[in-house]
Every structure is written in C-alpha cells, then in structure tokens.
Amino acid sequence: MRAVVQRVKRSSVKVDGKIIGEIGVGLNVLIGITKGDTDEDIKYIRDKVVNLRIFSDSDDKMNLSLKDVEGEILIISQFTLYGDCRKGRRPSFINALGGEEAIGIYEKVIEAFKEEGVRVETGEFGADMEVEIINDGPVTLLLESKKDF
C-alpha cells in the first residue's frame, strides 16, 4: 500500500462538479492499493499518517501530529500510485489493484482512520475526481507499507 501525504490548509474533492468531501487544516492522503495488501498494511499506513509529527509547534518546529493539532483527513483512492514508468512512455498499472477487492480494502482504510478518532472525509472510489489542495509548507511525504522506497 502506498500513500502520498500532503499537509494542507484546506482540501476538497468534487465528483460531477459537486463537492463530496472537504476538510480544513489537516492531511490530504492519496491511497494506492496493490495485490497482496492486508490489514497489516492498512494498520501501518494509518498509524504512520496519524502519528507523523509534521505540524509546527510553538517554536515553528515540526513536532506535532494530526491528532495533536486536531486536524482532519481527506482520503482519496489513487490507482495511479502503482503506475510503473520504468519501461516505455506509457505507465503500466499491472501492480495496481482494482475492482471489488480494491473497494473492500479502501473501505477498510477509511474505517481504520475513523477508529483513530480523527474527522475523515473521502473521495469516491473509481470516480473521475477534481481535487483542490491548498498545501501548507508544502510538506509532502511518500509512504509505502512494503518499504519499497
């Protein structure tokens, strides 16, 4: 499982021109699911994201977590995070998990974050989405549950 984590001042996601998810200060998290992802991968990503100390404290040092600042999270499924661009000029998505199996894992990811007591908003799995992000910093981190990078 992969995640692109962005610290934001606000973020929203639209489907068919309608806002379906919107947050204030917090994290915009793009989630990519691959074959073989399990509950352990979900737990790893969830624990990392909610506990990363990437928000500034009173000394302007990155020392506070999402929970510490009572931030919100916008979770968006991102099939293309498993795009392999090493060969040719068109990405291969052979390692990205799609369909019903991926939807089930995505829903588990959402529930796992909700269990942490943070406010969670989401995109729509498989939809063509328009995501608006007002970065804070910017601070952008890449996470991989399998430690591939």
What residue ranges do the domains of the chain occupy? Answer: 2-144
Question: Which pLDDT score is estimated for 124?
Answer: 97
Please, what is the average pLDDT of the chain? 96
Omega before residue 91 within 30° of 0, cis: no
What band does 98 get if pLDDT is binned at 50, 70 and 90?
A: confident
Q: How many CB atoms are closer than 10 A to CB 24?
A: 12
Whether 80 is a known active-site residue: answer yes
Range list of β-strands (E), the chain: 2-15, 18-23, 26-32, 55-56, 62-64, 72-77, 119-122, 129-144
User: What average pLDDT does the segment 85-105 reach?
Assistant: 94
Question: Which pLDDT score is estimated for 129?
Answer: 97
Percent of the chain with pLDDT over 90: 97
Can you tell me the distance from the alpha carbon of 118 to that of 70, in angstroms, rounded to the nearest whole number? 7
Could you say which of 34, 80, 122, 140 is catalytic?
80
**CA distances from residue 149 to 3, 99, 141 in whole angstroms, order as listed:** 12, 26, 11
| Amino acid letter, residue 145 | S
Q: Give pLDDT tens digits for 21-79.
A: 999 999 999 999 999 999 999 999 999 999 999 999 999 999 999 999 999 999 999 99
Question: Which pLDDT score is estimated for 149?
Answer: 62
pTM for this one?
Answer: 0.94
Can you tell me the distance from the alpha carbon of 59 to that of 84, in angstroms, rounded to the nearest whole number? 41
What band does 99 get if pLDDT is binned at 50, 70 and 90?
A: confident
Superfamily designation of domain 2-144 = D-tyrosyl-tRNA(Tyr) deacylase (3.50.80.10)
Give 80: exposed, middle or buried? Use CB within 10 Å, 0-12, 13-18, 19+: exposed
Question: Which pLDDT score is estimated for 94?
Answer: 94
